[in-house]
Amino acid sequence: ARIGVLISGRGSNMAAMIYAAKASDCPFEIVVVIANDPEAGGLKLAAAEGAPVVALDHRGMKRAEFDAYLHAELTAARCDYVVLAGYMRLLSDGFVDKWAGRMVNIHPSLLPKYKGLDTHQRAIDSGDRVSGCSVHVVTAELDAGEVLGQTEVAILPDDTADTLADRILIAEHQLYSRTLANFVTRNVRPDALLDQVRDLAL
């Protein structure tokens, strides 16, 4: 499956996905990495790994207009799926519709708990003993689509939002690639399967 990754910042989840895709049995490849901020640190890393990168700048553009550029880049790269990895900009309903069922996000909480920002502090302030991360399908409502996979991470008594975030990030890096691999395998179109059978028979 051909994956387009959208980032806004350092791109550590994107990096983990690029490394996962190097395994010969990985069912996905990263065909483009797009940032909405030309300064996004992840872009350099992606380029160094040989992934095609596109640096866009959303500033001064209307949301729908910018998302049309995004869509054009993803389509030009013939992406089957879109992966949001620390993409910090809300997407327009039109864009979400175009990628319905083919776009996923990772969120640093055990959804449906703590949608939105500041998840780690909210988990600590609530006295939770466990938090974690979730991979979910993206729908028009923020952080509300079907959950495809989760990893629980224990909260330690002396955790701060930062120390907890660091540990959850380790779990994110594993969960995201594993869940994406399962998702694209489960979603294989029957005609693509037939192609594979034909290849095997040759």
Give the annotated binding-site residues.
11-13, 63, 88-91, 105
Residue pair 180/28 in contact by the 8 Å Cβ criterion = yes
Q: Is residue 86 close enough to count as binding ligand GRF by CB under 6 A?
A: yes
Tokens of 12: 């550590």
From 10-18, 136-144, 153-161, 177-185, give the range in contact with ligand GRF by CB under 6 A: 10-18
Q: Is residue 4 close enough to count as binding ligand GRF by CB under 6 A?
A: no
Give min distance, CB of 173 to ligand GRF, in A.
8
Tell me 92's DSSP state.
P
136 part of the active site = no
Out of 3, 4, 6, 11, name the contact with ligand GRF by CB under 6 A.
11
Q: Is residue 51 close enough to count as binding ligand GRF by CB under 6 A?
A: no
Tokens of 123: 């988990």
Computed over its alpha carbons, how large is the radius of gyration of the chain? 17
Compute the distance between CA of residue 63 and CA of residue 52 in angstroms, rounded to an integer.
Answer: 24
Residue pair 32/7 in contact by the 8 Å Cβ criterion = no
Binding site as annotated, residues for (6R)-10-formyltetrahydrofolate: 63, 88-91, 105
Nearer to ligand GRF among residue 67 and residue 172 (C-beta): 172
Residue pair 101/136 in contact by the 8 Å Cβ criterion = no
Q: Which residue has the tokens 């990030």?
A: 169
Residues of the shown chain interacting with ligand GRF in the complex, contacts defined by CB under 6 A:
7, 9-13, 85-86, 106-108, 169, 172
Which residues are the active-site residues? 107
